Amino acid sequence: MSNLSDVEKIVYEVIKRETENSGGIMQRKLKEIQELKNIRPRELQHIVKKLIKMNLVRRLRVSSNGKTSYFLQAVLKELTKGELIKISLDDIINIPCLTCKYIAICGTSKLHNPSRCSVLTRYLISKTLKSPSSSYNM
Ligand code: SF4
């Protein structure tokens, strides 16, 4: 963190905050965040690349309706082998697939695919980050 410039720290803090609050942020939404509006898009992209290279941020590719976008998360803590994620009944009841209109046409070789579903990905990420065993302060 000490080798980041002030503006890089601000970008990282925004991504970290969004990760803690909602599991992360779509990269294209960064420029809409108030604190980052003065940063040129090209510079913002450069900073994100640097944060990824430093393993402070991870970028997940999300495909939806044929479009590819990128979801950013601050790297708060990696789960170690054997570490458990506690899941409550509420977590299961709230799985988005249970109320999804595409459930009947969703599957690994179908048009809608869980491995490319942004709704399911965001849900799983938010649950992983809210797990008590994965909380971590940088
Ligand atoms: S993976 Fe996505 S598209 Fe498929 S049923 Fe779940 S929420 Fe719906």
| Mean per-residue pLDDT of the chain | 83
Whether the CB-CB separation of 44 and 31 falls below 8 Å is answered with yes
Domain that holds residue 106: 6-134
- Rounded to the nearest whole angstrom, what is the distance from the C-alpha of residue 129 to the centroid of ligand 1? 20
Residue of minimum CA distance from atom 2 in ligand 1: 117
Q: Is residue 82 in a domain?
A: yes
pTM recorded for the entire structure: 0.56
Q: Report the alpha-carbon angle 47-39-29, nearest 5.
A: 80
Residue 123 Cβ inside 6 Å of ligand 1? The answer reads: no
Å from CA of 109 to ligand 1 middle: 13
| 37 alpha carbon – ligand 1 mean position (Å) | 33
Asked whether residue 11 is domain-assigned, the answer is: yes
Q: Which of 106, 40, 29 shows the shortest CA–CA distance to 70? A: 29
Q: Report the 10 Å Cβ neighbour count for 30.
A: 22
**Would residue 20 count as lying in a domain?**
yes
Nearest to 129 by CA among 17, 8, 14: 17
Ligand 1 atom closest to 117 (CA): 2
Domain count, the chain: 1
- Residue of 64, 95, 103 best suited for mutating to test ligand 1, as the one with most atoms within 8 Å of CB: 103
For 82-117, how does the pLDDT look when each residue is reduced to its tens digit (9 = 90+)? 666 666 777 778 889 989 999 889 888 888 888 889
pLDDT at 125: 81
Check if 106 has its Cβ closer than 6 Å to any atom of ligand 1. Answer: yes
User: Would you state the structure tokens that stand for residue 8, as one six-digit string?
Assistant: 């890089």
Q: What is the pLDDT of residue 49?
A: 96
Q: Does residue 1 fall inside a structural domain?
A: no
Domain assignment present for 117: yes
